[in-house]
Structure 1
Amino acid sequence: MKSLPISIACMMALAGCQIAPDRLPRAEPAPSPACYFTVGDDPREVIEQSVALLENWGFELDSTDTDLGLVSASKERELPGYNDPYDGYRYASGMRLFGGFGIGRGAGFGVGIGGGIGRAPVESERVSVLVQNGHVRLSRDLRRFDQLRDMREARSASDDDFCRRFQSALPGFGSGEGRP
């Protein structure tokens, strides 16, 4: 019987440790309690106010469903000078001459040239508002993409500050003003 090289045995042992995650994914950090609040009895009015507020803050509507009480909106902004902390390459300056190459399934072959010349990294902010049973639930997340549009960072941003500003900016709760 032939013996396996030690490197292959070690690789197989380490591969056994990486079989499955120990828990399911969850929002981290957890949404703030301020992101769940009570509203009046007319959900359509709260939805209309939420749509107006989000548009006032510069968001574009992605979808609305008044029967479900759901509003989804997003906006993007450029991040000049943003760089990936795990990569020594500064994404907003310079360029990559060759984007890469690869062989796909079947007879596919591709070469990327240019790699996003002239494009800046962006941050995408998404907000969802759910109005049901006299309550509003806010959900917000931020994603950052490099100049090649590879996602570099993603996190839940349903924090106390944003949710309180949203709640106070609704006409029935506060001054009707507020900034994103």
Structure 2
Amino acid sequence: MKAILPISMTCLLLVTGCQTVPERLPQAEPAPSAACYFPSDQPSQKTPSLEVLTQSIGVLETWGFELETTDTDLGLVTASRRRDLIGYYDPYDNDFGYGRNMRVFGGFGLGRGGSSIGLGIGGGFGAGFRHQPVEVERVSLLARDGYIRLSRDIRRFDHLGDLRESYSASNDDFCQRFQTAFKQAAATPGAL
């Protein structure tokens, strides 16, 4: 036992010394579009205009988003919407060869006195089973210094509620549509 301890400690130190640090910090990929940062046509001021926040919230609510949080001192608005994914194919469902939407548990073993085989089939029992897969789209909006910055991400959950996909969706299409709707709301207050 005494001879094994120094050898194992040496191996542990060698393996620990081989670890490397990442070359860069995690970043949103793909990077947010340049269209997601645009002027709000309000005078540049440190505190955001309540009018800008109200118009932004109006646009998001018109599009079906539900307001989650707001901070008028910071100029921050967070909203999300969810939709059911009918017929969503889970890309991880066939990873273990079980087939789609079927979970089979089992195994076999060999011993001295013989062999045994076990097989089980999982059903839809308990909370979380047989739920519809959903997609959650979340938008964060920051209105400061006369500019608006949008950030959008999409997350998809399977029928068990496990996160299966997540990606940044701050693209040109969404941000340009938001800009257009925001400018129309600013031009005609009360139109929303």
TM-score by length of 1: 0.71
RMSD between aligned alpha carbons?
A: 3.2
Q: 1:48 aligns with which of 51, 54, 57?
A: 54
How far the C-alpha of 1:114 sits from its partner, in A, is 3.7
Unaligned 5+ segments in structure 1 are 99-111
Alignment of 1:1-180 (within 5 A): 20-41=21-42, 43-88=49-94, 94=101, 113-114=125-126, 116-172=128-184
Amino acid at match of 2:140: S
Provide the C-alpha distance between the structure 2 equivalents of 1:117 and 1:97, rounded to a whole number of angstroms: 15
How far the C-alpha of 1:68 sits from its partner, in A, is 0.6
Q: Which has the larger radius of gyration?
A: 2
Percent of aligned positions that are identical: 56
- Matched residue of 2:61: which SS? helix
How far the C-alpha of 1:81 sits from its partner, in A, is 1.6
- Matched residue of 1:25: which SS? coil
Maintained 8 Å contact 1:140/1:158: yes
- Matched residue of 2:56: which SS? helix
- Matched residue of 1:162: which SS? helix
How far the C-alpha of 1:147 sits from its partner, in A, is 1.0
**Which aligned runs of 4 or more in structure 1 are off by greater than 3 angstroms?**
13-22, 93-98, 112-115, 171-176
TM-score by length of 2: 0.67
Amino acid at match of 1:118: R
Amino acid at match of 2:25: L
- Matched residue of 2:54: which SS? helix
Provide the C-alpha distance between the structure 1 equivalents of 2:126 and 2:171, rounded to a whole number of angstroms: 38
Q: Higher relative contact order at CA 8 Å, sep ≥6: structure 1 or structure 2?
A: 2
